[in-house]
Amino acid sequence: MSSELKIDENKLYIFHELKKRRIYVGELIYDIKHDVYKFIYDKSYLNDKNAIPIGPELTLFKDVHVSKKGQLFPVLLDRIPLKSNPAYKDYCESQGISVDEDNPIILLGNIGKRGPSSFIFESAYIADFSVLNIIKLRQDLNISQSDLALSLGIKKVTLQRIESGLSHDVNTNKLLEIYFNFPEVAIWQLRQRKMWMHHTLFANLVDYFRMSLHR
């Protein structure tokens, strides 16, 4: 079992950061087979009357944009500092990546994460667990989404979206992955929330995660 989450080197999530909330915009994917980058707008974002395009070449008139072979979209490439920049080494060190890193998606998710625009780039992670793990837990213990969400300290609507494959909440996905990969962390969290839970629910969940420690 890995002690850390693995970054997906071929995918990046993009959000529009407002004063009080973040809106999911879409995802950037590198198609290894065809050596092109694809940017896919989220349909909900496209239907938002306040939506703005990420750049002139990534218009809102279509949801999927494909780059030229071997080339990143210019508006995204502009977010990556030049290696000739005197501060480039410091940028890399501050984000824990090598100065020799040349994968644009890795660079965008780290030193290009924030820029002059209100668009924020977030690294995607390779999940070592499936939403089926969550569904199986609920089925095995016969508990509702409301009860599980309450027990783990997440929002019910977020859990619903995760189970249906519609969620792009990176932080919650990472948190759930930690719980399933490191059951002792899940047990610690359950103990913190014990006062809000029925004692039977608490006991069943703790037993479930304790058993997974020995699998």
90 plus 146 within the same structural domain = no
27/121 same-domain check: yes
Q: Which one-letter amino acid corresponds to residue 43?
A: K
CA distances from 2 to 12, 129, 161, 178, 180 (A): 21, 12, 26, 10, 12
Tally Cβ neighbours within 10 Å of residue 107: 24
* Domain count within the chain: 2
CA gap 126, 174 in Å, rounded: 9
**Of 91, 126, 161, which residue constitutes the final position of a domain?**
126
Q: How many residues does the chain have?
A: 215
Say whether both 43 and 109 belong to one domain: yes
Per-residue pLDDT tens digits for 80-101: 999 999 999 999 999 999 999 9
| 68 and 158 co-located in one domain | no
pTM of the model: 0.65
Residues 17 and 113 in one domain: yes
Given a contact cutoff of 8 angstroms between Cβ atoms, the answer to whether 22 and 43 are in contact is no
Give the model confidence (pLDDT) of 21-33 as tens digits: 888 899 999 999 9
| Assigned domain for 45 exists | yes
Q: Are strands 6-17 and 22-31 parallel, antiparallel or unpaired?
A: antiparallel
Same-domain check for residues 150 and 117: no
Give the structural domain span for 198: 131-212
- Domain closes at, from 126, 161, 192: 126
Say if residue 1's pLDDT is above 50.
no
User: Residue 172 has what pLDDT?
Assistant: 85
